[in-house]
């Protein structure tokens, strides 16, 4: 008999989405066909009133999204780790079992489902790891993924050092994807497996423009061969000037950009040119 997939589910919450969290946990605990260990990380919040079957970690201070996920990953038990936003929910009881089938291929590090707004609003572009997003995008191998809801092989996650915890918020998925790809792993997208998540704009966060710029610089400084760093950042500066027309957000963005150069991005491990070519063949050269 084939053993059931063992999955450690990591839910990060600040305790400010009571109803959404209840639905997220209810649909998570209803998953069938997997051995599930659920850990809720209270990021600056002491979790209370949770259903049976949910273990908790209390972080007295908010440590940011990627480091909060790292804390949960260290605590959760399973060969696979399911990272799950506290305002998402699983519309069927076989979501995790279907995603787990991707890991029968030993080269696969990540499996991402399709995110869909429960009220039918258009899905944000960042949820679809494809250049063409019609009908949710094509299934198969990808080179980026959505951090909010995904399953990651623990062995791959640990081997490359997990999420960049010091990023706090923004682009941590790009950084992790680059490191996984450079280590030879593959990423998969399963648009036939649907997860519900409210469609929101990332710019609603007060720290968005600062973190977007600072972490973009950090991604480049940590992961790209030296000749590509100025090209990558030049392209993104141009894209930001084209997209953001308000002066105040631009000021914040440029302050974040300068911070990215002044501050320590963490260990530098420039990807191989072989990985650059792999990204380029996938339509996502690491300069855009």
Domain boundary among 200, 226, 249: 200
pLDDT at 1: 58
- Taking 80 as the threshold, does the pLDDT of residue 204 lie above it? no
Q: Percent of the chain scored above 70 by pLDDT?
A: 98
- Residue 158 makes CB contacts below 8 A (sequence gap 6+) with none
Gap between the Cα atoms of 22 and 14, Å rounded: 13
Give the integer Cα–Cα distance in Å for 10 and 86.
10
User: What's the chain's average pLDDT?
Assistant: 96
Distances (CA, A) of 184 to 94, 103, 147, 171: 29, 15, 19, 20
Looking at the domain assignment, is residue 288 inside a domain?
Answer: no
The answer to whether the beta carbons of residues 191 and 139 sit under 8 Å apart is: yes
- Mind listing the pLDDT tens digit for each residue in 234-272? 999 999 999 998 999 999 999 999 999 999 999 999 999
**Domain membership of residue 41 as a residue range:** 6-200
Residues 196 and 249 in one domain: no
Same structural domain, 170 and 214: no
In a domain, 117, yes or no: yes
pLDDT reading at 205 higher than 90: no
User: Is there a single domain that holds both residue 212 and residue 157?
Assistant: no
Question: Does residue 18 lie within any of the structural domains?
Answer: yes
249 and 135 assigned to the same domain? no
% of the chain with per-residue pLDDT over 90 = 94
Neighbours of 10 (CB within 10 A): 26
> The pTM is what?
0.96
228 and 114, same structural domain?
Answer: no
Q: CA dihedral defined by 268, 269, 271, 272, rounded to 10 degrees? A: 130
How many angstroms from the chain centroid is the CA of residue 220?
Answer: 17
For residues 54 and 176, membership in a common domain is answered with: yes
Which CATH number characterizes residue 68's domain? 3.90.550.10
Shared domain check, 180 and 81:
yes
- Tokens read off for 151: 């399953």
In this structure, is residue 286 part of a structural domain? Answer: no
**What are 220-224's contacts with CB under 8 Å, separation 24+?**
221/260, 221/265, 221/268, 222/164, 222/175, 222/265, 222/266, 222/267, 222/268, 222/269, 223/175, 223/178, 223/179, 223/182, 223/268, 223/269, 223/270, 223/271, 223/286, 224/270, 224/271, 224/286
Cα 33 to chain center, whole Å? 24
Question: Per-residue pLDDT tens for 67-126?
Answer: 999 999 999 999 999 999 999 999 999 999 999 999 999 999 999 999 999 999 999 999
User: How many independent structural domains does the chain possess?
Assistant: 2
């Amino acid at each position: 008999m084939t053993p059931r997939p063992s999955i450690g589910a990591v839910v990060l919450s600040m305790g400010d989405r009571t109803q959404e969290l209840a639905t997220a946990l209810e649909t998570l605990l209803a998953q069938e066909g997997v051995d599930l260990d659920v850990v809720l990380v209270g990021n600056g919040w002491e979790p209370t009133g949770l259903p049976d079957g949910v273990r908790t970690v209390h972080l007295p201070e908010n440590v940011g999204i990627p480091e909060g996920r790292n804390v949960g990953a260290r605590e959760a038990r399973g060969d696979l780790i399911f990272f799950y936003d506290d305002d998402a929910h699983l519309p069927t009881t076989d979501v995790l079992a279907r995603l787990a089938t991707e890991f029968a291929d030993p080269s696969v590090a990540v499996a991402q489902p399709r995110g869909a707004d429960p009220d039918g609003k258009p899905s944000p572009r960042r949820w679809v790891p494809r250049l063409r997003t019609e009908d949710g995008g094509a299934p198969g191998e990808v080179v980026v993924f959505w951090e909010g809801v995904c399953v990651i092989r623990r062995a791959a996650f640990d081997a490359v050092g997990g999420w960049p915890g010091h990023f706090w918020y923004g682009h941590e998925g790009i950084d992790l994807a680059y490191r996984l790809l450079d280590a030879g792993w593959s990423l998969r997208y399963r648009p036939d497996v649907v997860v519900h998540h409210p469609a929101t704009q990332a710019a609603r966060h007060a720290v968005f423009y600062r973190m977007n710029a600072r972490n973009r610089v950090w991604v480049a400084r940590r992961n790209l061969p030296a000749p590509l760093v100025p090209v990558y950042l030049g392209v993104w500066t141009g894209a930001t000037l084209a997209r953001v027309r308000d002066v105040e957000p631009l000021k914040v963005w440029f302050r974040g950009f300068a911070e990215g150069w002044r501050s320590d991005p963490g260990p530098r491990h420039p990807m191989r040119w072989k990985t650059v070519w792999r990204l380029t063949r996938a339509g996502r050269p690491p300069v855009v």
